[in-house]
Copies of this chain bind each other. A is one copy, B any other.
Amino acid sequence: MSKLTDVPKRILIGRALRSDRLGETLLPKRIALPVFASDPLSSVAYAPGEVLLVLSIAGVSAYHFSPWIAVAVVVLMFTVVASYRQNVHAYPSGGGDYEVATTNLGAKAGLTVASALLVDYVLTVAVSIASGIENLGSAIPFVVQHKVLCAIAVIVLLTLMNLRGVKESGKLFAIPTYVFVGGVFIMIAWGAFRGLALGDTMHAPTADYHIKAEHQGLAGFALVFLLLRAFSSGCAALTGVEAISNGVPAFRKPKSKNAATTLAMMGLLAVTMFCGIIALAMTTKVHMAENPATDLIHNGVPLGSGYVQNPVISQVAEAVFGKGSFLFVVLAAATALVLFLAANTAYNGFPLLGSILAQDRYLPRQLHTRGDRLAFSNGIVLLAGAAAMLTIIYGADSTRLIQLYIVGVFVSFTLSQTGMVRHWNRHLAVEKDQAKRRHMIRSRAINAFGAFFTGLVLVVVLVTKFTHGAWVALLGMCIFYATMTAIRKHYDGVAEELAAPEDPADDDMTRPSRVHSVVLISKIHRPTLRALAYAKLMRSDGLEALTVNVDAAETRALREEWERRGIDVPLKVLDSPYREVTRPVIEYVKSLRAQSPRDAVSVIIPEYVVGHWYEHLLHNQSALRLKGRLLFTPGVMVTSVPYQLASSEAAKLRARKRQEWNAPGAVRRGPTADRAKEPSPAKD
């Protein structure tokens, strides 16, 4: 096992990574599966329940449609998995849907996909945590009684963990995910054994309840619409499938093949669990309703607002294992944990996508810097804030949050698959080899079917869920899209303004011919003596010391000491009737420039540097302000001559530590990351 513990650690500490040693640090399939699949696998904890909830609107009799809906979800899952296996082979660089859409359909399609995915990440956090809390609540009632509070607490916890730069290790994902998958399979097997071999009758805790149908005897178009809505809800099981296509570089070689195999395994596990839970729910007679307080009837009386409707998976576990039994509690805990890991996935994915978008200048460039703590922090806080807002607005109710979900996923699926069709068309136009052509035509057929099917589902989702909340997700997408377009426009404008003219004669700038240096002095101490010594070295065309007379007595003392020490630089005193420093200096610099417009002015500021943030509060504020103002004055260069105080050592240590900080999402991004580079100064 020592290998296993080492591997993620070395992946995560970027410093240890050199291109020649990359091979050892990649993920084997058995670790890649839980790392990438915690999101899609965890969704079987809520998707089956959502199907039953919607069907219950037409009364319990509509429950017999649920196997058909399960079949539709399974077909869709296989379609999506088959389609993405093509993506993984065609785009092994890990750019995912955004790259596929941008390359094949253009920048606007790519940006649409990106907006959809960003919204989707927010919803992954909100939905997964809400559902995790509900599952945990089936074992610990306190949690579900303080749902919103607990959900916010989990969001805060994940946020803090990610802000601190927790090391994402494969093991962390592997154990709960395998416990969860194992638990669900044992439940299905044990349930099947008890039902079929022993002939036990298992009863869900809600088996004796009746459902008051909100629309009894629905038929025709209305019934079809309801079934489509139930199907839409079931599609929540598909979310996160695309994660593997973003993570190809993290796989061991052969990367694409291993990623494709993992994708298939994940699809198989997900549909088995989904169908198993639906089947057990039918067998144990789980009854769920959209409004359990009024629509669930027990002994002729509605259950009232005090009733808490537990998730399907926990009701089934209760029926199969028995309430409060060891396995029941383990499964509930594993379910909650996997759901929280799924939420954590978004904490990794959001800044990762952000960094790719930043490279394409749709987001601030510093987001792109791997390991820029501040930049990642902004992304994490944005994600957490949006998810917390949704959690509060929707009362941490997973059923209501799911209405917003999956719009983004299916926008992304559809555009990505459409892009793949274009991709194959482009390649088919030049490919001559018949065997390869046959392969491509097959791939194109799969992607075309994928595009058609996911597009159809997208329409269904939009039509059936628009008023239930999908509009919120669309609004979010539009906001992201507009913001990113505006940022790109800004960067393009700046680049144009900065572009160096080909012909130097076109340069509007007057080339300065001489430089006049000015050293700012407030007092004679070590920093000013050092600044004067350095300024003399520079041999500029003129050198003088400058002080602002804000206090006559102090200025007199300064002048006397200047003479006593015999400093051989002329000291110029500026009057300041309003006791300011910044303005007289700026005006003096401007007057120098006005006297000889072809000269540049070099302003040299002695500064001393301290090590603690609270010391910063105590020092250098006016120097900082002055530097800030000077930067806006044309024809000036601003030089800081730092003097390091003893306490500055602390800051050096801190900076070193910060450099070793691990950006969230490192494991799933993989180490090669061809696209990644840190921007140079003044480039961004």
Interface residues of A (CB under 8 A from B): 14-15, 17-19, 364-366, 369-372, 374-375, 487, 490-491, 494-495, 497-501, 507, 509, 511-515, 520-530, 533-534, 537-541, 547-548, 550-551, 554, 576-583, 600, 602, 604-610, 615, 617-623, 625-627, 629-632, 634, 636-646, 648, 651-652, 655, 659, 676-684
Please indicate the chain B residues that have their CB under 8 angstroms from the CB of A529 in the complex. Answer: 500, 507, 509
Cβ-defined contact, B637 with A655, below 8 A: no
* 11 A-B residue pairings within 8 Å (CB atoms): A365-B622, A495-B525, A498-B525, A507-B526, A509-B533, A521-B680, A538-B538, A550-B678, A581-B679, A607-B681, A622-B678
Bound CA span A541–B538, Å? 8
Cβ-defined contact, A641 with B632, below 8 A: no
Cβ-defined contact, B522 with A677, below 8 A: no
Bound CA span A609–B606, Å? 22
A18, closest chain B residue (CB): B577
Cβ-defined contact, A534 with B520, below 8 A: no
Cβ-defined contact, A622 with B680, below 8 A: yes
Bound CA span A491–B682, Å? 36
Most interface-central of A17, A578, A602 (chain B CB within 10 A): A578
Cβ-defined contact, A684 with B600, below 8 A: no
Cβ-defined contact, B538 with A526, below 8 A: no
Please indicate the chain B residues that have their CB under 8 angstroms from the CB of A639 in the complex. Answer: 602, 637-640
Cβ-defined contact, B515 with A534, below 8 A: yes
Cβ-defined contact, B642 with A640, below 8 A: no
Cβ-defined contact, B618 with A682, below 8 A: no
Please indicate the chain B residues that have their CB under 8 angstroms from the CB of A19 in the complex. Answer: 577
Please indicate the chain B residues that have their CB under 8 angstroms from the CB of A512 in the complex. Answer: 533-534, 537
A659, closest chain B residue (CB): B583
A487, closest chain B residue (CB): B618
Please indicate the chain B residues that have their CB under 8 angstroms from the CB of A615 in the complex. Answer: 490
A674, closest chain B residue (CB): B551
Cβ-defined contact, B523 with A618, below 8 A: no
Report the minimal beta-carbon distance from A619 to chain B, rounded to whole angstroms. Answer: 6
Report the minimal beta-carbon distance from A389 to chain B, rounded to whole angstroms. Answer: 21
Cβ-defined contact, B550 with A677, below 8 A: yes
Report the minimal beta-carbon distance from A31 to chain B, rounded to whole angstroms. Answer: 24
Cβ-defined contact, B578 with A534, below 8 A: no
Please indicate the chain B residues that have their CB under 8 angstroms from the CB of A607 in the complex. Answer: 631, 681-682
Report the minimal beta-carbon distance from A641 to chain B, rounded to whole angstroms. Answer: 5
Cβ-defined contact, A648 with B632, below 8 A: yes
Bound CA span A659–B580, Å? 10
A547 in complex: contacting residue of B364, B515, B680, CB < 8 Å: B680
Report the minimal beta-carbon distance from A406 to chain B, rounded to whole angstroms. Answer: 32
Please indicate the chain B residues that have their CB under 8 angstroms from the CB of A538 in the complex. Answer: 515, 538-540, 602
A678 in complex: contacting residue of B375, B514, B580, CB < 8 Å: B580
Cβ-defined contact, B617 with A364, below 8 A: yes
Bound CA span A14–B576, Å? 12
Cβ-defined contact, A642 with B648, below 8 A: no
Given contact pairs A366-B621, A366-B622, A500-B529, A645 touches B494 in the complex (Cβ within 8 A): yes
Given contact pairs A498-B608, A622-B678, A578 touches B14 in the complex (Cβ within 8 A): yes
Given contact pairs A494-B645, A515-B537, A622-B684, A631 touches B605 in the complex (Cβ within 8 A): no
A513, closest chain B residue (CB): B537
Bound CA span A602–B18, Å? 31
- 12 more A-B residue pairs beyond the given contacts A537-B540, A637-B639, with a C-beta to C-beta distance below 8 A: A365-B618, A490-B615, A498-B525, A512-B534, A514-B537, A522-B682, A527-B682, A534-B602, A621-B684, A632-B648, A634-B644, A638-B639
Bound CA span A547–B499, Å? 18
Query: Would you list the 5 A-B pairs with minimal beta carbon distance, nearest first?
Result: A522-B680, A623-B681, A366-B621, A522-B683, A550-B677
Please indicate the chain B residues that have their CB under 8 angstroms from the CB of A582 in the complex. Answer: 659
Please indicate the chain B residues that have their CB under 8 angstroms from the CB of A676 in the complex. Answer: 579
A501, closest chain B residue (CB): B526
Please indicate the chain B residues that have their CB under 8 angstroms from the CB of A487 in the complex. Answer: 618
Please indicate the chain B residues that have their CB under 8 angstroms from the CB of A494 in the complex. Answer: 608, 610, 619, 645
Bound CA span A679–B582, Å? 10
A534 in complex: contacting residue of B15, B637, B681, B684, CB < 8 Å: B637
